[in-house]
Chains A and B, each alone.
Chain A
């Protein structure tokens, strides 16, 4: 029974990886693409780790999977946030987008 469930998890992980790729191709602007790519790839990673836990129910696998998933869920949003800051042009000191500050300066 758990074998079938883990197979379903694995196919779901592949589906979310495909969703991430399709979102990267189909969306129009950079924030939409980042939204699609980050969330869907995180879901795919979680599902493939869940499939592995269901296939091999051992404590060692569970601990390593929780560690890998924790690292991924900690680092993926932080990396996406840094990427968004760099793309929008937030100055690290002012915390305000450079376009907004320049508009304010012109007025």
Chain B
């Protein structure tokens, strides 16, 4: 029972990470990529806590706390450097392509 639940959890989270990685690869703006990287990181923290669930070990909660805080610092730091002109540049690019 626990093995089946853990297997399903791993498959589902891996699919979510793969989808977010696709957006990270393709994403037209920097904000899209940053958002996708955020989702990938949160899913990885969730995978770590799920691994602790499988082993019956709560030590991964410390990792979850610290990773959540570091993730916030990283996202904030990069989002301060996002240039809103990227969006208008993209608009010009698509118009010229048409």
- Classify the secondary structure of A's interface with B: helix
Instruction: Say which size band chain B's interface belongs to.
Output: 35 or more
Contact B8 A33 (CB under 8 A): no
- Classify the secondary structure of B's interface with A: helix
CB-based A-B contact count at 8 angstroms: 179
CB-contacts of B42-67 with A (<8 A) = 42-43, 45-46, 49-50, 52-53, 56, 58, 61-62, 64-65
* 6 closest A-B pairs by CB: A89-B84, A21-B19, A14-B12, A21-B16, A75-B72, A86-B82
Please report B residues at the A interface, Cβ cutoff 8 Å. 1-2, 4-6, 8-13, 15-20, 22-23, 29, 31-32, 34-36, 38-39, 42-43, 45-46, 49-50, 52-53, 56, 58, 61-62, 64-65, 68-69, 71-72, 75-76, 79-82, 84-85, 87
